[in-house]
Structure 1
Amino acid sequence: MDRSIPMLLVGLIFGGGLGFTVAAANGITLDGHDHATDHGHTTGASASHDHETPLDLPAAPDAPTLSVTATPDPSSGWNLHIETGNFAFSPEHASTDHVPGEGHAHVYIDGVKLGRFYGPWLHLPAQEPGTEVRVTLNANDHRPLAVGGERIEETLLLD
């Protein structure tokens, strides 16, 4: 008699119960993270979680730079190339304190945030002609970066 299905069910029940018990013992909850209200958490002495107020950097030769291009993908959609200068993508430091010269990019399609990106290439699915793509450079703590009061961002329209 094959007992693999009953053993699988027993393993799932006990494994799930053990997982929930360990999570509860460590204070882990299933309520997620509410960006609308939970901006007071910190990961370091001065970390903030402000997605709007720019971190203004001095206009200097080592200030971060951004250039964005979109080329049609031969099969479908667009290939977005995010080129930076004096800036390194740092997924390992996401949501931690600001470190000069590192962070990530935010990509917006017609004003709606597509996500956070940690590298120079991104494939976009097919878009309607005239679709606006905006890319911002952001600090590890998610604040948009600016140089001399001007946000480091590029906007382009897809043909």
Structure 2
Amino acid sequence: MSWTRRTLVALAVCVLVPLGAEGCATGGASGHAGTVSPSPVGKVLRDTDGTGRHLREVAGEEAPEVGVEVTPDRARGWDVLLTVRRFRFSAAGARRAAVPGRGHARLFLDGRPVTRLRAPGYHLSGRLVPHGTHHLTARLYADDGTVWAVRGRPVESTADITASGAEPGPAGAPSESTP
């Protein structure tokens, strides 16, 4: 058998044998205790969030936390402020890998995606929040797109928003008529 054929056979064996097998690991990329994980951070679960992103399970004492506070502003919009613990926002263009306590947040209004955040503050336009009570959820994601999770549940926080009063019309005038 020539050296190139032996090399190809060895590579084929490493590809077909599960990750973490002796002799095929490439240094630090193997899973923990027989589980396969694309990074050494937590364990990627089969479960997904509502957007189809897989959950990345981490222990509660290591897990990031998020809180969301929403206050109305003078321009009929909402100021959103996230408070995080054991989490840092990654800059745009960050490497697509799970790093402990790093990533971005996504905002959802009544379950529908609004935006991706790389900083704790955001202005939510009043045009996106119709009359009534709504739920604004902030969920934390790793840079590889997985959702940080604890005990099979995404790391997230929800705040209620109640929009009342006249709805703005097409030119900014109230849509309700006054007698």
Paired residues, what number? Answer: 113
Instruction: Measure how far apart 1:92 and its partner are.
Output: 4.3
Determine whether 1:76 maps to 2:79.
no
Decide which structure has the larger Cα Rg and report it. Answer: 2
CA deviations over 1:13-38 (Å, ceiling 9, x no partner): xxxxxxxxxxxxxxxxxxxxxxxxxx
Instruction: Measure how far apart 1:95 and its partner are.
Output: 5.6
Give the letter for the 2:111 counterpart: G
Please provide the CA RMSD for this pair. Answer: 2.2
Q: Which has the higher contact order (CA 8 A, sep 6+)?
A: 1
Structure 1: state its 5+ residue gaps: 1-44
Deviating 4+ runs (over 6 angstroms): none
**CA–CA separation in structure 2 for the residues paired with 1:79 and 1:94:** 26
Aligned to 1:153: 156
Aligned to 2:109: 109
Give the letter for the 1:148 counterpart: R
Structure 2: state its 5+ residue gaps: 1-28, 30-37, 163-179
**CA–CA separation in structure 2 for the residues paired with 1:58 and 1:97:** 19
**Contact 2:63–2:149 (CA<8 Å) still a contact in 1?**
no
**Contact 2:103–2:141 (CA<8 Å) still a contact in 1?**
yes
**Contact 2:89–2:102 (CA<8 Å) still a contact in 1?**
yes
TM-score (norm 2): 0.57
Candidates 131, 141, 144, aligned match of 2:144: 141
Q: Which has the higher helix share?
A: 1
Change over 3 Å in CA distance of 1:92–1:123 after alignment to 2: closer
Identity %: 29
**CA–CA separation in structure 1 for the residues paired with 2:95 and 2:71:** 31
TM-score (norm 1): 0.64
Question: 1:115-130 counterparts in 2 under 5 A?
Answer: 115-126=115-126, 127-128=129-130, 129-130=132-133
